[in-house]
Amino acid sequence: MPDINIGQMGHTTASGGRPPLRSVPKLTKINGDDDKALIYRNMGNNHASPFIWAETLTFSGAGTKTLVSGVKFHGMKMADYCKVAVSGPTGTNPYVTKNSGANTITVSSSAAGSVDVIVMVGLSPNITKLKCRGNTGAQQMFP
């Protein structure tokens, strides 16, 4: 029974054939922390899953700091499952290195300074198939 717990919906076709099935988006309560730069999904039953957070790494000189080591979300390694964006003052040239085998994410800087880091949990989306109702000329998906 591969389709258990998969929300599906269809729409009628002009030819009267079997309607195509599409996923139904999941509703999730999203919360922000009062004290930390963190947004998390409230999964119910006292479980929360962070999916966007930010922090600042301070470098006293050129070097490398470990951002994450050995952490998994939903059974997937963070090195494979997360996107990390960094920015720092001119001259620091920060960059991110991911090691999938060791499941580590490190941030390096070429000079002293504070480097801002944003981590987003999830795989890269394919936004070419998104439908929206805006002034972009896109058509709505359903009537």
pTM assigned to the model: 0.65
Q: What mean pLDDT do residues 80-84 have?
A: 90
Q: What is the pLDDT of residues 35-61, one digit of tens each?
A: 878 887 777 777 777 788 899 999 999
HSE toward the beta carbon, residue 123, CA cutoff 13 A: 5
Provide the CA 28 distance to its chain's centre, in angstroms: 15
Which residue ranges make up each domain of the chain? 26-123
Candidates 132, 83, 123; CA nearest to 141 is 132
